[in-house]
Amino acid sequence: MAKDETADTGNAATGGGPAPERARRAPAGAAVLREEKTEAIRAAVFEELAAVGFARMSVEGIARRAGVGKTAVYRRWRSKLHLVLDVVAALASSGLPSPDTGSLRGDVRMVLEVAAGALRHPMAAQIVPDLLAEAARTPELSDALKTALHDSQESVAAAVLSRAVARGEVPPGTDTRLALDLLTGPLYWRLLVVRDELPAGYLDELAGAVVRALGATG
């Protein structure tokens, strides 16, 4: 019978005899995985990636940082690659917001604000470039990053453009991928490649430039 991840201390009232039957038992051959441990491990992955990078990170280091045993990690993921893939997939599912401010400029400005906040995070500055470098050697990671960093955001750009077309702000057939490149490319370059701060008013200027580049008429 498989046990869960909590210690069974027995029943002191019966003189240390067998514990009473629990109301709910795990099915034979299955482990009950505590959600708080799962989340602690996921958080430890980000910290470990930022501290040592993908190549040097290990299941031992992740477990130590999460305050769990290695077995707790291996119950959930087969390897550090699968653990990182899971974390990347979670990022993809969160994605960028799909704002509806009533104008293309307002929508673009809001997306830029959220994206800049995410890229400014100290962990993002360490993790994203490192994972992109590793992705060149690991096809599974490359595919996962493409989904997390591009495909999941493309639907946001498509929604923003669709509303702008309906309002008559941009012509039908405006390239969604070009819009996404214009939205995220300058921020990635400035914050993660050049590693420069954004001057005051930069996001407003960038929003205006993006809107003009997309051929907005409003």
User: For residues 45 and 13, what is the distance between their CA atoms, to the nearest angstrom?
Assistant: 42
The angle formed by the CA atoms of residues 31, 33 and 10, to the nearest 5 degrees, is 65
| Each residue's pLDDT tens digit, 28-84 | 444 456 888 889 998 999 889 888 988 899 999 999 999 999 999 999 998 888 888
pTM surpassing 0.85? no
Q: How confident is the model at residue 18 (pLDDT cuts 50, 70, 90)?
A: very low
Helices (H), 121-193: 122-135, 139-146, 152-166, 176-188
Terminus-to-terminus CA distance in the chain, angstroms?
Answer: 68
List alpha helices for the chain, DSSP H: 35-52, 59-66, 70-76, 80-94, 104-120, 122-135, 139-146, 152-166, 176-188, 202-213
Encode pLDDT of 84-134 as tens digits: 888 877 766 566 668 899 999 999 999 999 888 888 877 777 888 888 888
Are 25 and 17 in contact by the 8 Å Cβ rule? The answer is no
CATH for 32-80, options being 3.30.1390.10, 3.40.640.10, 1.10.10.60, 3.40.50.300: 1.10.10.60
Question: Which of the four CATH numbers 1.10.760.10, 3.40.1390.30, 1.20.1250.20, 1.10.357.10 does domain 95-213 have?
Answer: 1.10.357.10
What's the pLDDT tens digit per position in 143-170?
A: 888 877 777 788 889 999 999 999 999 9
Q: Domain locations in the chain?
A: 32-80, 95-213
33 Cβ contact list (under 8 Å, min separation 6)? 5, 75, 76
